[in-house]
Structure 1
Amino acid sequence: MRTQVVIVGGGPSGLLLGQLLHKAGIETVVLERKSRAYVLGRIRAGVLERGLVGLMREAGVDARMTAEGYVHDGTLIAYDGDMFRVDFTKHTDATVLVYGQTEVTRDLYAARDDIGAKTHFEVENVVIEDADSDHPFVAFREGGVDQRIDCDFVAGCDGFHGVSRKTIPADVRREYEKVYPFGWLGILSETPPVNDELIYANSDRGFALCSMRNANLSRYYIQCDASDNADNWSDEAFWTELRKRIPASVADSLVTGPSIEKSIAPLRSFVTEPMRWGRLFLCGDAAHIVPPTGAKGLNTAASDVHYLYQGLRQFYAEGDAAGLDAYSAQALARVWKTERFSWWFSNLMHHAPGQSDFDKKMQLAELAFLRDSPEAQASFALNYVGLPY
């Protein structure tokens, strides 16, 4: 087989890249190690920055997102019994859209089906060869048969545990990591959201987040020990603890019900440099991970897709490799700014083990400053709706 771009990874970033490239007349093949049902069964956050919303529209897969997504023009932050709102449109003239990542993926698969583009599921033994030459290829095994795809470029969209990052020689890569000493216990319940907007809460008992998927599907989180297990928490214990971490006025209106999914997510910050080696380009979790505070994971992957898509389009349309040559530096410049915001917001809202009384006072002072300062709120809003590409 031969194609122009092999995309390793059939998650939303790989699918979005494939759809954008198709619009530009560039052929792609997607390789995914899991089944389609598995990919669509993964529960992920669903706050979409303005940049990702724009890319979905450019790719022509925005119809259901526009019809069913919930526009949010602000968010609520609670602490010390107080709660205040940051108005996104007031400070940035922009909004975010609440639309589940699973639904984004579903829309992108449907679009890929419509154009008849090739997607291989449940592939094994994927190996990226000769990426540092002008003639890379990808070998893999599918249905017990060894296969090979020759290509011009490889886009590594296969996540932290995929093969793409590891293909770059260890002496070329430099990796930066911070592991946080807490996790998020989250549940999904078929209940109405407690508020029309997200509520981020800093309490003496730890962080909590009230979020939603739609009018009858809510997602709630509480900070927990990194070594905890979701099986240790009954639904009743979760709801009781959540009520203790959010303002009383919110807790009183909370509608509870059986959880339909319960899990613990670890928190980490991770970046690898560079994001390009020869004709291999890393996108999304293959190159960087952010803690979920502020929902930047998928959105940061989308910014990578934007830069790579522009570079590939320029290459094929004009024979100009300038965009591809600039990809790693350009993507990383935005990645590190996003990492900073997620790191800052995580440290602001969580209570770390061993946190001193001084540290707690600094958190409260920072929260009060954010509450009272229009300039601080403008900075927060700009980062939350998404830095421009």
Structure 2
Amino acid sequence: MSLLVGIVGAGPAGLLLARLLHRAGIDSVVFESRDREYVERRQRAGILEQATVDTLRAAGAADRLEREGIPHDGIDLVFDGAAHRVDFLGTTGARVWIYAQTEVVKDLIALRVADDLPLLFDTPVLALTDLDGRPTVHHAGGQVVCDYVVGADGFHGVTRGLVPGVVHERTFPYSWLGILADAPPVHHELVYAHSRRGFALASMRSPTVSRLYLQVPNGTEPWPDDEIWTELDHRLGDHHPQRGPITAKSVLPMRASVAETLRHGTLFLAGDAAHIVPPTGAKGLNLAAADVTLLAAAFDHLHRTGSPDLLDAYEHTALREIWRAEHFSHFMTTTLHLAPGQSEFDTQLQLAHLRHIVSSRAAATSLAENYTGTART
């Protein structure tokens, strides 16, 4: 059975789906409203779960990841002024990789261009029609009639509003002030810090570039450099960052959302068009990859057998994984951050939970399973 799938959005979700479909012998057209330079420079997540890396490998899209990605076998939790390691590899047999979303996107674009497959930059989708039949993608240059359309164009994209249904949302009472700095990483693995001054996270983009975050009140403007470094020193315990030039600053609001309905006729939602997770659990890119892995398998099943059973099951199957990831991200967020006006009672509950994680193999394993994504496999 021949198929043509229209994919709206050339982020990691849309590009990975296009790659998986191509490997399965299924045609697709990718529509992207922005130009290639913008898409390849768009800064987002940088932590890949084991399952995401396995999918990229199976798709033939992991060559540079294998050379340049930084494997992490655990994380440090800092609380009560001390660091405690949570061992991922020893408890689950899985690890995570540091490899920026920009690099994943560049790799997938390069593969699609090399294969001379349709990837239409600077092509905003103006409308989608006939979603109950053969959907038509209308854009400024014309129109393309498809068999199915996948909306992977993000929270503010055109496709999300075409799928009726409730969207469950939560906004958190704090934000992240994030920086990129030309400085060696604080530690060889990620550091998540609970402090009475607020949360901090020390991550990295490479052995010479650090990615660091501070919890700040909503509505905060970026701080001066010296204030950022001083506050990181206070919050990260014994993991004192080495200072270097700060090359980028941004403030990221913390929110979560899940669309209750992921399908309308021949239109399916995936990635940020379907859900947003707070970044504390490192789930955004990985959850998008899980969505399109399910969709690719469903389209492959339809292509080979003519049966739409897996496509019909997509919404139910995906939402189970989405809510699992939302729960973990919510747990990490609310356990590590101090809410405005938080009572000492609530702070002690957070600390009790953190002490339990690092003193119980079962609790540490649960965190490791969720962080590496093995809890969803």
Q: Provide TM-score, normalisation by structure 2.
A: 0.98
Deviation at 1:362, TM superposition (A): 0.5
1:10-21 to 2 correspondences below 5 Å: 10-21=10-21
Counterparts of 1:284 and 1:29, CA distance in 2: 17
Matched position secondary structure for 1:25: coil
Match of 1:188 in 2: 180
Name segments (4+ residues, structure 1) moved above 3 Å. Answer: none
Match of 1:239 in 2: 229
Matched, 1:224 2:216: yes
Tell me which amino acid in the other structure corresponds to 1:246: L
Counterparts of 1:210 and 1:124, CA distance in 2: 37
Mark the runs of 5 or more structure 2 residues left unpaired by the alignment: none
Match of 2:256 in 1: 269
RMSD over aligned CA atoms reads 1.1
Contact 1:8–1:156 (CA<8 Å) still a contact in 2? yes
Tell me which amino acid in the other structure corresponds to 2:74: G
1:134-283 to 2 correspondences below 5 Å: 134-141=133-140, 145=141, 147-169=142-164, 173-230=165-222, 233-247=223-237, 249-251=238-240, 254-283=241-270
Tell me which amino acid in the other structure corresponds to 1:112: R
1:46-100 CA distances to partner (integer Å, 9 max, x unpaired)? 1100111011111111100011101111100001112101100111011111111
Contact 1:51–1:388 (CA<8 Å) still a contact in 2? no
Which of 244, 266, 288 aligns to 1:301? It is 288
Match of 1:82 in 2: 82
Counterparts of 2:323 and 2:245, CA distance in 1: 39
Distance change in 2, residues 1:197/1:339 (3 Å): same
Deviation at 1:3, TM superposition (A): 7.1
Contact 1:184–1:267 (CA<8 Å) still a contact in 2? yes
Matched, 1:330 2:317: yes
Match of 2:114 in 1: 114
Contact 1:3–1:150 (CA<8 Å) still a contact in 2? no
Sequence identity (%): 45
Contact 2:127–2:139 (CA<8 Å) still a contact in 1? yes
Tell me which amino acid in the other structure corresponds to 2:226: E
Matched position secondary structure for 1:203: coil
Matched, 1:368 2:355: yes
1:154-205 CA distances to partner (integer Å, 9 max, x unpaired)? 0100000001110113xxx111111001000010011110100000000000
Match of 1:105 in 2: 105
Counterparts of 1:125 and 1:151, CA distance in 2: 14
Tell me which amino acid in the other structure corresponds to 1:350: H
Match of 1:317 in 2: 304
1:331-370 to 2 correspondences below 5 Å: 331-370=318-357
Matched position secondary structure for 1:337: helix
Contact 2:88–2:95 (CA<8 Å) still a contact in 1? yes
Match of 2:32 in 1: 32
Contact 1:292–1:342 (CA<8 Å) still a contact in 2? yes
Tell me which amino acid in the other structure corresponds to 1:39: V
1:318-370 CA distances to partner (integer Å, 9 max, x unpaired)? 10111000000000000000000000110000001121111111111111111
Counterparts of 1:284 and 1:44, CA distance in 2: 13
Tell me which amino acid in the other structure corresponds to 2:231: E
Matched position secondary structure for 2:280: coil
Mark the runs of 5 or more structure 1 residues left unpaired by the alignment: none
Q: Provide TM-score, normalisation by structure 1.
A: 0.95
Matched position secondary structure for 2:250: strand
